[in-house]
Amino acid sequence: MIARTWRGRVPAEQADAYHAYLLRTGLKDYASTAGNQGVQLLRRTEGGVTHFLIITLWDSYEAIRAFAGDQYEQARYYPEDDKYLLEREPHVVHYEVLSSA
């Protein structure tokens, strides 16, 4: 199994709106892609900025490519992301899942 992680930051006053936007866009797309084994969405607010961390689990890199395309190490963004995000993280990070409880 492969874990894919992405990070983003938004102004704290937009955190709830961005959360709702993520549910309608990326999280919905993750869940509907064959080979996706789950999604975790985490957030924390610090100093007026809310940090989001998305961890998705995948059967294989082929499944990740079905979601993200051939350039699967680049972050995938949606049309309104720039309305919320303070900057675009250019890449995601992949990990082999060695153990899960």
Domain with 77, as residue range(s), is 2-96
How many structural domains compose the chain?
Answer: 1
Which tokens sit at 61? 């890199």
Whether 22 maps to a domain, the answer reads yes
Q: Give residue 47's pLDDT.
A: 94
* Three-state SS at 34: coil
Q: Give residue 26's pLDDT.
A: 87
Whether 32 maps to a domain, the answer reads yes
> Of 35, 39, 45, whose CA–CA distance to 6 is shortest?
39
How far apart CA 73 and CA 91 sit, in angstroms, is 6
Whether 34 maps to a domain, the answer reads yes
Residue 100 pLDDT greater than 90, yes or no: no
Whether 83 maps to a domain, the answer reads yes
Residue 91 pLDDT greater than 90, yes or no: yes
CATH number for the domain that contains residue 62: 3.30.70.100
- Could you report the per-residue pLDDT of 10-54, keeping only the tens digit for each? 999 999 999 999 999 988 889 899 999 999 999 999 999 999 999
